[in-house]
Amino acid sequence: MHGAMKRGVVMAVVTAVVASAVACADKAPQATVAEGRLLKPKKNDTVTVTANCTSESQVDVALDKWVVDVNKNGEVTFLLNSTSTPAADVTVLQKATGKWPFTDTTSIKPGKGDGNGRNKGKAKADTGKYQYNLRVVCGTGATARTVVIDPDIFVD
């Protein structure tokens, strides 16, 4: 009987601690929940693309962020990593009609460093999830290789 009493006391303490933690969490500032994740949107953000044409049949692409979370009217800058090969032609394009996240441009050409091409877009005032295409083309004509990936931008 003494062992059962100890278990009852332990359960009561655990229940009280859990209830206190839940009560404190309810008063804490909350991030926006979207797509099952906690998001903390930023006023502005930058996506760095690394694109390399490594051979006639090989295109390597990497992004430092697959998901960007920005405030309404925030700005997203796309930069081409300085290690990218000069032959890589990178463009950010609309994926679906009517679902482009930017108000001031219809496509973006990331440049190496600021001021090299149109590399920024101002986010819409409408909240939502926006998908876009990042297209990398290496070569020209019949030997051109194209890679298209579709990261996301959340506007909160």
Query: Residue range 118-124: average pLDDT?
Result: 81
**Cα 148 to Cα 59: distance, rounded to the nearest angstrom:** 11
Residue 27 predicted with pLDDT over 50: no
Query: Residue range 137-148: average pLDDT?
Result: 89
Q: Which residue, among 108, 102, 92, has the nearest Cα to 125 in the 3D structure?
A: 102
**Tens-place pLDDT, residues 39-71:** 678 888 989 999 999 887 789 999 999 989 999
The whole-number pLDDT of residue 123 equals: 86
**Cα 88 to Cα 80: distance, rounded to the nearest angstrom:** 10
Least confident stretch, 16-30, 47-61, 65-79, 102-116: 16-30
Helix (H, G, I), strand (E, B) or coil at 146: strand
